[in-house]
Structure 1
Amino acid sequence: MHPLLNIAKEAAEAAGHVIRHYQERFDQITVEHKGRNDYVSQCDFEAEQAIIKTIRKYHKDHKILAEESGAQNGTSPIEWIIDPLDGTTNFLHQFPQYAVSIAVREKGKLMHAVIYDPRAEEMFSASRGSGAYLNNYRIRVSEQKTLNNALLATGFPYHDFSYVDTYLAGLKVFMTSTAGIRRAGSAALDLAYVACGRVDGFWEFNLKPWDIAAGILIIKEAGGFTTDFAGSENYLESGNIIAANPKLFKEMAQVISKTVPPELRK
């Protein structure tokens, strides 16, 4: 296992320790509003600091891009992309779908990734060229060939509703041509579930780099495809993503191309 992946796992477990602490102490959590339907809790901040402290223990010169504390410059070409608690709203409602997401990028390439569900104690991980794993077991995307009988995951618009009609047009097509749609509230876990075959595909608009960076690499290493809505790999900038096994991906991309106007596919 690559040393940086080991550090990412250690950091995720440190954040998981913080999250489990607050799982049993919801009455002690302070919460702030960042925007409409966008919350940050004391748990988010402390989990993020636990991750950063772990990274800094080994590498003081690495760059960091974290959801709550922002960007930290460094002299190294290596950058850590961190979401300490993806699914904060779920966590605050004790809805059991949230995770820690950590990715390592070097010279623009995603190299290592971890998504950790502290409640279920599931650690999804990958290093470029070395496959994807759930705990100690190799994982692969599903073999579902068509939208018919496929189970998809997605995320609804929750604070920016400017594209809601476009989203609903695609949702209608997917809803009427698949076995079902799931909206559980953590993009990181949705992507991890694509990687291990629990769902066959995923799409969402307007996400942040820390929501999807780790999941993108894990899916690729599990044999899946990921692009933005324009068919490129500009997803960390656009926030728009389609992810699926190779057989299903083409059908999902066709639906997006028909329901999403060109100006929203950039």
Structure 2
Amino acid sequence: RRRQAEGLVEILPRVGDIRRMGGAALDLAYVACGRVDAFFEHGLATWDVAAGRVLVAEAGGTVVNLSLPRPHHEDDRLVRPLEALHELNDDAVVVAAGPGLIRQLTELLVQAGAHEGP
């Protein structure tokens, strides 16, 4: 939690607001319907993400796991969709947003060190 708080200190001045309203499934549904712009959280289980990932994708958004190893090109990791739930682990940092925001948000999280997990 300390690392998450340190990341938030870096992020807060650069975003409008950060809210925590409930479970990850609800937060992902809110991203899908446009009620909130984006979502990120550390250490989710597969059941926290399974349904919400589908909702976000069907709405045109993207769900990524920032803790995955970097693929061939460094920037590809920032927008690589979470394709399989087995990719989640205790270090997973799940990020969801619409297509116009996902790259900006993931870059911000990486700059703030929030992608490194708790």
Query: What is the TM-score with the length of structure 2 in the denominator?
Result: 0.74
- Distance (Å, rounded) in 2 between the aligned partners of 1:202 and 1:248: 11
Match in the other structure for 1:182: 19
- Distance (Å, rounded) in 2 between the aligned partners of 1:176 and 1:217: 31
Q: Of the two structures, which has the highest relative contact order with CA contacts closer than 8 Å and spacing of 6 or more?
A: 2
Matched, 1:203 2:56: no
Structure 1 counterpart SS, 2:95:
strand
- Distance (Å, rounded) in 2 between the aligned partners of 1:235 and 1:171: 28
Match in the other structure for 2:50: 213
Q: Is the 8 A contact 1:170 1:255 kept in 2?
A: no
Deviation of the 1:259 alpha carbon: 2.8
- Distance (Å, rounded) in 1 between the aligned partners of 2:60 and 2:110: 23
Matched, 1:192 2:45: no
Q: Is the 8 A contact 1:220 1:226 kept in 2?
A: yes
Query: What is the TM-score with the length of structure 1 in the denominator?
Result: 0.35
Provide Cα deviations, 1:22-45, integer angstroms capped at 9, x if missing partner.
xxxxxxxxxxxxxxxxxxxxxxxx
Deviation of the 1:216 alpha carbon: 0.6
Amino acid at match of 2:111: K
Amino acid at match of 2:112: T
Percent identity between matched residues is 37
- Distance (Å, rounded) in 2 between the aligned partners of 1:166 and 1:243: 20
- Distance (Å, rounded) in 1 between the aligned partners of 2:13 and 2:114: 21
Structure 2 counterpart SS, 1:210:
helix
**Cα distance, 1:166–1:191 mapped onto 2, change above 3 Å:** same
Name structure 1 gaps, 5 residues minimum.
Answer: 1-163
Deviation of the 1:246 alpha carbon: 1.0
Match in the other structure for 1:244: 97
Structure of larger gyration radius: 1
Correspondences of 1:1-266 after superposition (within 5 Å) = 164-229=1-66, 230=68, 231=77, 232=80, 233=82, 236=85, 237-238=88-89, 239-260=92-113, 264=116
List structure 1 runs of 4+ shifted beyond 3 angstroms.
none
Amino acid at match of 2:63: T
Q: Is the 8 A contact 1:170 1:256 kept in 2?
A: yes
Between structures 1 and 2, the one with greater strand share = 1
Between structures 1 and 2, the one with greater helix share = 2
Question: Matched residue pairs, number?
Answer: 101
- Distance (Å, rounded) in 2 between the aligned partners of 1:234 and 1:259: 25
Deviation of the 1:168 alpha carbon: 1.6
Amino acid at match of 1:241: V
Q: Is the 8 A contact 1:166 1:259 kept in 2?
A: no
Q: Is the 8 A contact 1:225 1:244 kept in 2?
A: yes
**What root-mean-square deviation, in Å, do the aligned CA atoms of Structure 1 and Structure 2 show?**
2.1
Amino acid at match of 2:54: L
Structure 1 counterpart SS, 2:35:
coil
- Distance (Å, rounded) in 2 between the aligned partners of 1:198 and 1:215: 14
Deviation of the 1:225 alpha carbon: 1.1
Name structure 2 gaps, 5 residues minimum.
Answer: 69-76
- Distance (Å, rounded) in 2 between the aligned partners of 1:243 and 1:256: 12
